Chain A
């Protein structure tokens, strides 16, 4: 049996993209393989690790748990869309750099997009350790032990610069 193919048209980081894909193609694979946007990473492929987190129509989603065809006509923001066109890092990225919020960097795009969404949805969040750890609880990191990530998020919140 041949899987049906469909044309998927999505706007990614402001750019209209099209690809002809099988209806069983995951959104994470559309981004990485069909659109060559490999910043979005695939860790577990069953929704637990958060490495594949992207923003879809303004809300954070697990791109490994969406079919590419479900994104048709929608708007995506991926990690590649965070930095400015001139290469200036987004304040979140700069904070991760300054506070050692990454080592191997594999989980980092997922963290950045999840935190980006969290700050959009919570303009004045609690900066306690517990509150920040709850906010990042949907993303797993094997390298850092999370402390640097928590510091980076706290810095961004207290500086109020993440918009």
Chain B
């Protein structure tokens, strides 16, 4: 199980990279962290004629405050996001999700943008981008465009990126004051692909009622799923078991999950509803109390 032959490119500048993608785009794959692409190469499930290794583009490794949120550059490692006080303070949902991505050795090399571009239906980070309404920036020789999360994840392992485009950064909005976040998932072992998972953020008004709710589910479809109907149910309500259970049921009702060797559709649908209720409970507790990134469960 060794990679097939390919022509290896390791550009040192962004314009060089875009030129390579412009020339070879349809026959090329971008290599950043490699934690998803290398397994595919090693098993020869992917056999690109050209590999464009972007690991020399160190100017793409950054976490910056911008436009009421944080932009994360293409080469920012998941490990650095995990350790970032800025992320913990401004984007607690991302901080919650990142510690569930694979295992520490995966996070040492894996990148946030790579996870978004790969678009595995069980991946945590796409759900965070979708739940919060973030966007990505795609660059090519033809120019730059921003793609909102809702338009980015098209199908299993398929995004709106064209073969000539490089995903250069992702933007996540800052959590408003009085927000709390939680990411919980079911997997057979810690770090395994989630059978079902929920990204949840609750924002409370001064009087303690829900003024904003962000909910996305993983493992229940070919892309992450925004639970908009469940979110709507929560607005104006006071946090409580009954309303969170109702939100869980609403989220479940709109799902059309798949059956595979790991779990049945019925199981995924049921578990998703339970996880929604639990995640909302934890998120609301955190919104009401002091913000902390440490898991209490």
Contact = CB atoms under 8 A, between A and B. Distances in A.
Given A59-B79, A64-B38, A4 B104 contact: no
A24 B3 CA distance: 6
B148 interface: no
Dominant secondary structure of chain A at its interface with chain B:
mixed
A62 B5 contact: no
B105 interface: yes
Contact of A67 (B5, B53, B79, B103): B53
Contacts of B42: 26, 45-46, 64-65
A29 to B, nearest CB: 8
Contact of A138 (B5, B6, B41, B191): B191
A62 B35 CA distance: 9
Contact of B105 (A3, A29, A70, A114): A114
A66 B109 contact: yes
Nearest to A24: B3
Nearest to A140: B189
A118 B104 contact: yes
Contact of A24 (B1, B6, B35): B6
B240 interface: no
Give the interface size bracket for A toward B. Answer: 20 to 34
A50 interface: yes
B103 A69 contact: no
B8 A138 contact: no
A111 to B, nearest CB: 12
Interface string A39-73: 00000011100100100100111101111011000
B7 interface: yes
Interface string A108-128: 000000100110010000000
Contacts of A69: 8, 10, 53
A4 B8 contact: yes
B250 interface: no
A65 B38 contact: yes
B257 to A, nearest CB: 24
B5 A45 contact: no
A1 B8 CA distance: 12
13 contacts: A4-B7, A26-B2, A26-B42, A29-B2, A46-B43, A60-B104, A64-B42, A65-B38, A66-B38, A69-B8, A69-B10, A114-B104, A117-B105
Top 8 A-B pairs ranked by shortest CB distance? A138-B103, A23-B8, A46-B39, A59-B108, A65-B38, A137-B190, A60-B105, A24-B3
Given A26-B2, A50-B105, 11 more contacts: A1-B5, A3-B8, A26-B3, A29-B2, A59-B108, A62-B105, A62-B109, A65-B35, A70-B53, A114-B104, A138-B102
